[in-house]
């Protein structure tokens, strides 16, 4: 599964104004969240379901992951980012 590119414009304003390292840290946290959610989606989708079969199965799983994580993530990235700043 490939990770979607993370646009700096979609990051929270406080992260963007905190500097280059803060942006890198938040993007890393979002990337981890994206990867984790992708693995969870993959694990939830069984081979028997329509999301687990066919030529477009991986594309559908990636789309579902991107929809779940979307813009600023599900909140896990924010928590990881806060810990990175400590």
Q: Flag whether 3 is in a domain.
A: no
Confidence of residue 38 (pLDDT cuts 50, 70, 90): confident
Phi-psi region of 75 (alpha: psi -120 to 50; beta: other; left: phi over 0): left
Gap between the Cα atoms of 60 and 49, Å rounded: 12
- Is residue 76 a part of any domain in this protein? yes
Q: Would the pTM of this model clear 0.85, i.e. be above it?
A: no
Q: How confident is the model at residue 23 (pLDDT cuts 50, 70, 90)?
A: very high
Domain membership flag for residue 79: yes
Confidence of residue 4 (pLDDT cuts 50, 70, 90): low
Number of compact structural domains in the chain = 1
Average pLDDT over residues 7-11: 83
Hunting for tokens 């928590």 — which residue is that? 79
Which DSSP letter does residue 17 get? H
- For residue 47, the model assigns a pLDDT of 67
| Domain presence at residue 1 | no
SS3 5: coil
Asked if 70 and 23 touch (Cβ cutoff 8 Å), the reply is no
Full domain range(s) for residue 53: 8-85
């Amino acid at each position: 599964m490939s990770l979607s590119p993370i646009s700096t414009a979609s990051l929270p304003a406080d992260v963007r104004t905190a500097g280059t390292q803060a942006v890198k840290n938040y993007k890393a946290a979002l990337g981890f969240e994206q990867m984790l959610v992708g693995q969870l989606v993959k694990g939830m989708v069984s081979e028997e379901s329509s999301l687990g079969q066919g030529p477009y199965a991986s594309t559908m799983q990636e789309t579902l992951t991107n929809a779940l994580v979307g813009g600023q993530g599900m909140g896990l990235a924010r928590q990881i980012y806060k810990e990175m700043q400590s």
